[in-house]
């Protein structure tokens, strides 16, 4: 449920908040247990393997992106203590939202519950036993890495668009590859889902992000009612943005994106060198609605900047934790479908909230532990996706940690500003915004009355 709160969290409470949060995590990993629960043995076969199948094997299996497999007991046992440390600190699985504020219902939630963390802790502390092998669940069947993830849901893509090949040298400054690809359509069609990926496993190592801008002649009066400058630049806006942690967008029923005949994809692929010469491209799978089917709503992938759009958008002095914020007015009632914070190596936290026309402030989502290695896309469930009236202000606030406390910080003695390079910084939220009618919002609001909270210390433990 969305919660109301005061607009700003006191910056002076950052350190105290970090201590409170770490303490809370440790307590959450050891909830109170009855004597029966405490005596019950925890084994890999019966208790841990099902958790790993649900939350970990998506990455931790042979041939996937993780450095080790956690499928079998033999593969998992050597990593037991490291697993305990990572899950207690909520570093793994990678899910970096504050669980105490904002929306907590997601289509793609891969985080561990407090009970699951406690079970893993007990298992490791007991010596990480296998237990009875007969209790092991059936092995989970994962799709081949070369297949499209959404094919199981929609069948094979209607279109597969590929950028031209690019060769990244073993040693190089960051590079940006911006070729053009025609969309082979002769009539207007509506998109119900998109999926993007680097062309090869090796390509994933060099691809920082990839954006597919949609260049097309828009139908009269169909421009997005948004102040997102990228929508104006691209004509049709952004069809898809890929980063580690975000591979596809599925639009809600009766919602989609419009492709016009003659459209083109203008790629913006950010590559970085990894010590090996690699040639790769980017692929975009497009799943269309049946011919002639027109959804009621059109959604737009929107960049809500925390930084200003003009002048000097970011100012991060050496050895400081810097705060940056920006405000965006919804020119029409809208539903927000997801939240994907985007920053670089010094990114620390990002807050997304709404200031309604009546002055009410509602927390939407708060990423309190941003990790550059995982550009997670938090997709709200059908019932939890928030809707707001025309005139609502979307407030985005970001924190960058330019100190030695940030392990990924390459040099805390340097001033940092906005820029495309990995060593520069950014601060924006990618959000699919679906514009709706005033009547649609009124009906939604009648069914979703947000809880109120007058506590001004909502974020005391959040900015860690």
pLDDT value at residue 38: 57
Residues 6+ apart with CB under 8 A from 338: 249, 377, 378, 379, 380, 430, 431, 432
Closest by Cα among 247, 201, 257 to 63: 201
Q: Tokens standing for 42?
A: 């925890």
b vs e for 170-196, b when ≥16 Cβ sit within 10 Å of the residue's Cβ?
A: eeeebbebebebebebeeebbbbbbbb
Predicted confidence at residue 421, as pLDDT, reads 84
Q: What sign does the CA torsion over 201, 205, 209, 210 have? A: negative
Chain mean position to CA 210: 14
> Which portions of the chain are predicted below pLDDT 50?
1-35, 231-234, 452-464
CB count within 10 Å of CB 88 equals 21
Q: What pLDDT does 17 receive?
A: 42
SS3 content of the chain, % helix, strand, coil (to 5): 20, 30, 50
Domain with CATH 2.60.120.230 in the chain: 1-16+298-464, 146-295
The per-residue pLDDT for 427 is 93
Look at residue 229 in the predicted model and tell me its pLDDT: 52
Look up residue 463 and give its two tokens: 């900015």
Phi first, then psi: what are they for 291, rounded to 5°? -55, 130
**CATH (residue range 1-16+298-464):** 2.60.120.230
Q: What is the pLDDT of residue 236?
A: 62
CA distance 348 to 412: 14
For the segment(s) 146-295, the CATH number from 2.40.30.200, 2.60.120.230, 1.10.3110.10, 3.40.190.10 is 2.60.120.230
| Cβ-based burial of 404 (10 A; exposed 0-12, middle 13-18, buried ≥19) | exposed
Measured CA distances, 130 to 41, 73, 83, 179, 255 (Å): 11, 7, 15, 52, 47
Q: Is the pTM of this model over 0.85?
A: no
């Amino acid at each position: 449920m969305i919660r109301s709160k005061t607009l700003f969290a006191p910056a002076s409470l950052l350190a105290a908040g970090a201590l409170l949060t770490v303490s809370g995590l440790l307590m959450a990993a050891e909830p109170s247990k009855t004597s029966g629960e405490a005596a019950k043995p925890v084994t890999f076969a019966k208790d841990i393997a099902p958790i790993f199948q649900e939350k970990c094997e998506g990455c931790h299996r042979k041939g996937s992106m993780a450095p080790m497999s956690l499928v079998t007991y033999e593969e998992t046992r050597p990593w037991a203590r490291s697993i305990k440390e990572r899950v207690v600190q909520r570093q793994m699985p990678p899910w970096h939202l504050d669980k105490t504020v904002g929306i907590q219902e997601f289509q793609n939630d891969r985080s561990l519950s407090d009970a699951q963390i406690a079970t893993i802790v007990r298992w490791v502390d007991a010596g990480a036993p296998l237990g009875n092998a007969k209790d092991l669940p059936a092995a989970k069947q994962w799709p081949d890495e070369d297949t499209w993830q959404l094919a199981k849901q929609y069948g094979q893509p209607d279109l597969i668009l590929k950028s031209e090949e690019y060769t990244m040298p073993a040693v190089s400054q960051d590079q940006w590859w911006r070729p053009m690809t025609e969309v082979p359509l002769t009539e207007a069609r509506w998109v119900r889902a998109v999926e993007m990926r680097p062309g090869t496993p090796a390509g994933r190592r060099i691809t920082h992000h990839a954006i597919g801008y949609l260049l097309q002649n828009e139908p009269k009066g169909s421009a997005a009612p948004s102040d997102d400058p990228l929508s104006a630049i691209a004509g049709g806006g952004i069809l898809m943005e890929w980063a580690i942690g975000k591979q596809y967008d599925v639009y809600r029923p009766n919602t989609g994106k419009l492709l016009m005949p003659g459209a083109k994809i203008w790629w913006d692929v950010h590559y970085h060198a990894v010590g090996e010469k690699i040639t790769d491209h980017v692929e975009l799978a497009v799943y269309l609605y049946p011919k002639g089917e027109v959804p009621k709503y059109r959604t737009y992938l929107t960049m809500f900047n925390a930084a200003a759009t003009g002048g000097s958008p970011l100012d991060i002095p050496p050895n400081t934790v810097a705060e940056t914020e920006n405000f965006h007015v919804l020119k029409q009632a809208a539903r927000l479908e997801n939240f994907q914070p985007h920053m670089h190596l010094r990114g620390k936290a990002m807050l997304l909230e709404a200031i309604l026309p009546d002055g009410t402030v509602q927390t939407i989502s708060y990423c309190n532990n941003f990790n550059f290695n995982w550009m997670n896309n938090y997709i709200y469930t059908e019932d939890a996706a928030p809707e707001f009236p025309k005139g609502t202000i979307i407030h985005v606030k970001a924190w960058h940690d330019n100190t030695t406390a940030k392990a990924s910080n390459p040099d805390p003695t340097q001033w940092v500003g906005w820029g495309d390079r990995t060593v520069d910084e950014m601060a924006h939220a990618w959000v699919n915004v679906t514009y709706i009618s005033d009547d649609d919002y009124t009906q939604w609001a009648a069914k979703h009355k947000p809880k109120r909270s007058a506590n001004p210390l909502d974020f005391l433990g959040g900015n860690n």
